Structure 1
Amino acid sequence: MIDPVLQSPELRLAADSNQVLNYHRDPHNYITQVFGAQLPAIRTGFFNVHLTKGIIVQPHWHTNVNEMVYVISGEVITSVFNPFTQRLMTYYLRPGQLSLFPKGWFHWIIAESNHAHLLTIFDQPTPDIVYGSDFLRSVPKEVMQRAYCVNEEDYARAVAPIRESVILGPPVGCGRDS
């Protein structure tokens, strides 16, 4: 069966990955994208990620996609938590190298050099993303106390600075070089 998108008289087979800004932390740390909305014929999708040293793509997971990280320039560390072995798997990547984050596995990326440029490529045209910052600020302090014996006030104080989704961190003004 031929895909109806490919039969369309308005078929486009090219897109500009710089046109759609997904997230902007500052002029050197930002994410652009190409997904099905920008290129209907695409069966995958990707984020075009630009980072400077010390910036982190915050811990998160995807409910519906596998993610491959491909380094174009610079150096990054990728880390993923293996839920089967209960171990953290960490990789130091340079240009031309890649790592994989399986669907549902908690992961993050840290830039180890200035001007790191990478693609995060997904096996579906639109990823669902659960950000660690959203999870942390949404779990009631009473639940953390009951589940983990964490002092309620300590937890509330620890997550108080997280007021919104943090995609590229640390948040500007958190006391580190930003």
Structure 2
Amino acid sequence: MSISYMDYTSPSTQFTYDLSNNQSFKKNDQNFINELSIKQLNTLGNVSLLDIYLSTGNIVEPHIHQNASELVYGISGSAIVSLINPFTNQLLNYPIQPSQVVNIPQGWWHYEIASTDNTHLLAIFDAPIPETIFGSDILRLTPANVLAHSYCLDEAKVKDTLAPIKQTVVIGPPSDCNQTQSQMKPTAMQHVNQMYINPGYQYHGYYNPMYSQQYPY
């Protein structure tokens, strides 16, 4: 149990806050994240949250929270919450609808893809501030020669592949991506639908719903 040293008699004590005043990321009017931490509400204690809005095919990019576990709660719409179990090296895909939750242990690699428009998720953390390491930052900040040497890859191809990632993505694909929802192959969307219908469904490949390519493990 956390111990509070808050002076509740102080005139600066805060008991309420409007999350719309702290938008941590916005891709467009349908895809954005509001954040609440102890920085906005000083009586919070050991809890914080992200208020996530997504439209079909948009993804909260792969990332980890190094300081907290995360409970994802479905408010509206639907999404697939995917995580890698580091103890089994399995990619797990869990559909989520309103009133359903998915728990992500601290430090586990995960991401969320919206299955429908007007998807609204609440991510609740057991830490006063949610800390995040995004996959886009790992890819763009790790030198291409290190990645090429580590995994026996062609350095020039690594540079060319990662060149478009110039900043933290957060909600992907980036707005300037030249791939569109209409270019998605029907068979690829079927994999997302299968993950939504059957939580135990395991697609043997990495699939980004906004792209038509499929990449085998």
1:176 maps to: 179
Residue 74 in 1 paired to residue 77 in 2? yes
Equivalent position to 2:157, from 144, 154, 158: 154
Contact 1:5 1:40 in 2 (8 A): no
1:65 maps to: 68
Q: Unpaired segments of 5 or more residues in structure 2?
A: 182-217
- More deviation, 140-149/163-172: 140-149
Give, in angstroms, the shift of residue 113 of structure 1: 0.4
The alignment yields a C-alpha RMSD, in angstroms, of 1.4
Residue 97 in 1 paired to residue 100 in 2? yes
Following the alignment from structure 2 to structure 1, what is the Cα–Cα distance between the partners of residues 131 and 53?
21
Q: How many residues align?
A: 178
The alignment partner of 2:158 has SS state of: helix
1:25-64 alignment runs, 5 A limit: 25-43=27-45, 44-64=47-67
User: Which amino acid counterpart does residue 115 of structure 1 have in structure 2?
Assistant: N
Following the alignment from structure 2 to structure 1, what is the Cα–Cα distance between the partners of residues 162 and 123?
28
Give, in angstroms, the shift of residue 139 of structure 1: 1.4
- TM-score, structure 2 as length reference: 0.78
What do the CA deviations read for 1:42-62 (whole angstroms, capped 9, x no partner)?
021111111100000000001
Query: Displaced runs of 4+ in structure 1, greater than 4 A?
Result: none
Following the alignment from structure 1 to structure 2, what is the Cα–Cα distance between the partners of residues 40 and 4?
8
Equivalent position to 1:164, from 164, 167, 192: 167
Q: Unpaired segments of 5 or more residues in structure 1?
A: none
Percent of aligned positions that are identical: 35
Give, in angstroms, the shift of residue 82 of structure 1: 0.8
The alignment partner of 1:70 has SS state of: strand
2:6 maps to: 4
